[in-house]
Structure 1
Amino acid sequence: MSRSEQEVLREALTHFELMLDHAHGDVMDQLVVDAVCMRLSAGLEVLNRLDACVRDELFGDSWRLMWGMRNRIAHGYLLVEPAIIRRTLDTDIPAIMTQIHRALTGR
């Protein structure tokens, strides 16, 4: 059964919200890094289910970089540096979540 765009966006948003909850811990702690990376990867996997046109509309050229981050986590887990994760949490995730909220509310 195919899921609607709204369902996919809500699921991704849930992963990112849970990720931010995990991030309240010490992002230099490997357990916290692991939890954050797993939710980040899961959220990006969910967004990959969107129609490519919708993804492009929401994230533009950033999608390629976002998917690259997912690949880095999935295929080179030990190579993900906590400082990069912290920057992603502080800079990129708020923008991604804003785009998802806009898509969900039609604004």
Structure 2
Amino acid sequence: MKRTPQESLAEAIAHLDAMHRHLARGAIDDETVADAVSLRLAATIETLHRGAPDLTTGLFGDEWSVIWGMRNRIAHGYAWIDIETVRATVDEDLPSVEATLRSLLQQIRDTAREP
């Protein structure tokens, strides 16, 4: 069964919320925290890709290939992931991506409530 964009966005945001809880428990320098953050980051990207491929290219344009590349680095080369790359992604890139996702989900929910 195909998921709606709303369902995909909600799931992606749930992964991001879990990632923030992991970061609240400790610094990304901690191997367990780094593993958990990397897993949730990859899961967020995978959820968007699987559930709303048109949405991802519409939201992120050419940047989507870079985002998907991050997922591939985590999923296929986990033992060799540069934690500094993950840290930079979380600190520098993710805030705007997350804000975009949250805003779009709210817009969809607002539109669904309109008569």
- Report the alpha carbon displacement of residue 19 of structure 1 after superposing the two structures with TM: 0.8
Q: How many residues align?
A: 107
Alignment-derived partner of residue 6 in structure 2: 6
Q: In 1, distance between residues paired with 2:58 and 2:7?
A: 17
Q: In 1, distance between residues paired with 2:48 and 2:2?
A: 14
Q: In 1, distance between residues paired with 2:75 and 2:32?
A: 16
Q: In 2, distance between residues paired with 1:21 and 1:51?
A: 25
- Report the alpha carbon displacement of residue 71 of structure 1 after superposing the two structures with TM: 0.4
Q: Percent same amino acid among aligned pairs?
A: 41
1:72 maps to amino acid: R
Matched ranges for 1:1-107 at <5 A: 1-24=1-24, 25-106=26-107
Gaps of 5+ in 2: 109-115
Query: Structure 1 or 2: larger helix share?
Result: 2
TM-score by length of 1: 0.91
Cα RMSD (Å) of the superposition? 1.5
Deviations 1:16-57 (A, max 9, x none): 111122123121111111100111111111000244332111
Q: In 1, distance between residues paired with 2:89 and 2:40?
A: 13
Task: Say if 2:22 and 2:37, in contact at 8 Å, map to a contact too.
Answer: yes
TM-score by length of 2: 0.85
Q: In 1, distance between residues paired with 2:86 and 2:53?
A: 25
Task: Say if 2:45 and 2:68, in contact at 8 Å, map to a contact too.
Answer: yes
Gaps of 5+ in 1: none
Task: Say if 1:22 and 1:32, in contact at 8 Å, map to a contact too.
Answer: yes
Structure possessing the higher radius of gyration over alpha carbons: 2
Q: In 1, distance between residues paired with 2:55 and 2:99?
A: 15
Q: In 2, distance between residues paired with 1:60 and 1:50?
A: 17
